[in-house]
Structure 1
Amino acid sequence: MPTDVIKAKNYLLSLGIHGEIPMGSERMEMRKRQMSGQQELVAGGTTTGTAPAQHEQAGQGERASNACCFCWCCCCSCSCLTVRNEDREERNRKASHDVKAEDPGDCEESPKPTMDEVCSWGQSFDKLMRCPAGRCAFRQFLRTEFSEENLLFWLACEEFSKETNKSIISEKARLIYEDYISILSPKEVSLDSRVREVINRNMLEPTSHTFDDAQLQIYTLMQRDSYPRFMNSPVYKNLLKSVSEQCPES
């Protein structure tokens, strides 16, 4: 019996069966390695799959935080909104400068004119313009003709010509130019090309005499054009009647 077993084993060995067992073990080992590798790939794929999603979400978050006021979301923290607020503040500051430049204030606070003063206005335009109450009445008339800017410009130039501080002269010159000389201003006064060229040259280094020619031209325009109509207007006639009625009582 042992002899037969030994013969059988030798027969199997002769058939090469001893090599099949290691080969099967290697295949099993390879399969295990392949399966473990596939599991690692699946796990890695899941991880890499979530990474782009996270990057995409992060990108969307960045896009939302950087959203501009021109996009549909209208983000409140948008830098463009800040720019608009700064522009609005700048316009408000400029508007306050404009009000100061255009409203000298002497017209509204002038005392009530006397009979002699009102009568003297009819003698010459110079007497009308030298009297605060006369300028006030003349300004009211110019409003009805939509030419009040002529008197406002002349008054601004009168105040400007008295300034001596160079830094203030430059600032006031800029305001007067923007309010009354610039063609973009709704309060632009009517000046000929020669005077405009003089002003443009003078604005390079403004002085208290920068607007002298323009002031004289507007003064002449009011004297020749507006003053005669003022003397025949209800504004002047009613004022003359009012002071004449009060004259006997005084």
Structure 2
Amino acid sequence: MPTPPEAEKQHTGPEEGDQPPSMSSRDAAPPAPPRRNPCCLCWCCCCSCSWNEERRRAWRASRESRLQPLPSCEACATPSPEEVRSWAQSFDKLMHSPAGRSVFREFLRTEYSEENMLFWLACEELKAEANQHVVDEKARLIYEDYVSILSPKEVSLDSRVREGVNKKMQEPSAHTFDDAQLQIYTLMHRDSYPRFLSSPAYRALLLRGRSTSSSEA
């Protein structure tokens, strides 16, 4: 016959070895690995995953070599008096002149809107690219530099054009920014070009051209 302590032990329930193990905080299941930020597939620049950060660092490192705003020949070109006068005939003639683009860009810099010319030039460079891998990389670099709302060089685009660019960035092509480029071209034509023709810089070029013509005569 069991003694009282033994009886009490028999009736307290299943032994400790038969009970399910309790789960302490240390024994808790490990947390699920963090999921990749779903926004990595879009290009609104809200993604902070390591993959995107590595790509951004690579783009920044190649920015100077891959998107030179102006070739060196444009920076040093000396326009003739006839060419300078032709810039006042139409904005297209100004933009088709390497020297004209260089002078106009310097003027835009004084108005703190140089990013408009840089964006337009970057789009022209993108359209001349045939390698799809390079197109993909340059398109994303252009987006980050000039379209992203987080960029200090963001150009002014309306919501319709911006939405169109965002959709096209899912599969970038050499013509992803065509609508945006046209809008910025129109903005420079209507807003900055008239002031450029009245600027001291352009007037000085006109006077220099007249002086050169007079001395040659």
Q: TM-score, normalised by structure 1?
A: 0.61
1:207 is paired with a residue whose SS is: coil
> Which of residues 121, 134, 145 is equivalent to 1:179?
145
Question: 1:96 Cα shift?
Answer: 3.5
Alignment partner, residue 64 of structure 2: 99
Alpha carbons 2:70, 2:102 under 8 Å: kept: no
CA drift of 1:244 comes to: 1.7
Contact 1:107 1:136 in 2 (8 A): no
SS of equivalent to 1:157? helix
Q: 1:125 to 1:175 in 2, by over 3 A?
A: same
| Shift of residue 103, structure 1, vs aligned partner | 2.2
Confirm or deny: 8 A CA contact 1:104 1:156 kept in the other structure: no
Q: Which position in structure 2 is the counterpart of 1:16?
A: none
Amino acid at match of 2:213: C
Deviations 1:155-191 (A, max 9, x none): 1101101111110110000100000000010000000
Change (3 A) 1:192 1:186: same
Letter of the aligned partner of 2:183 in structure 1? Q
Question: Which residue of structure 1 aligns with residue 130 of structure 2?
Answer: 164
Q: 1:178 & 1:172 partners in 2: Cα distance?
A: 10
Aligned ranges for residues 1-250 of structure 1 at < 5 Å?
A: 91=57, 93-100=58-65, 101=67, 103-106=69-72, 108-250=74-216
Distance 2:186 2:72 in 1: 22
Cα separation, 1, equivalents of 2:156 and 2:141: 17
Letter in 2 for 1:188: E
What amino acid maps onto 1:189 in structure 2?
V
Q: More helix per residue: 1 or 2?
A: 1
Question: Percent identity at matched positions?
Answer: 59
Stretches (4+) displaced over 3 A:
93-96, 106-110
Please give the secondary structure, in 2, of the residue aligned with 1:249: helix
Residues 212 and 195 from structure 1, CA distance in 2 versus in 1: closer, same or farther, beyond 3 angstroms? same
* Contact 1:170/1:207, CA 8 A, preserved across alignment: yes
Length-normalised TM-score, structure 2: 0.70
**Structure-1 residue corresponding to 2:8:** none
Q: Within 1, Cα distance between the matches of 2:134 and 2:121?
A: 17
Is the contact made by 2:157 and 2:183 (CA closer than 8 Å) also made in structure 1? yes
Take 2:94 and 2:213, find their aligned partners in 1: how far apart are those partners? 20
Letter in 2 for 1:244: R
Query: How far apart are 1:240 and its partner, in Å?
Result: 1.2
**CA distance in structure 2 between the aligned counterparts of 1:138 and 1:106, rounded to whole angstroms:** 16
Whichever of the two has the greater Rg, that structure is: 1
For the Cα contact (< 8 Å) 1:149–1:189, is it kept in 2? yes
Q: CA RMSD in A?
A: 1.9
Q: Which structure 2 segments of 5+ residues have no match?
A: 1-52
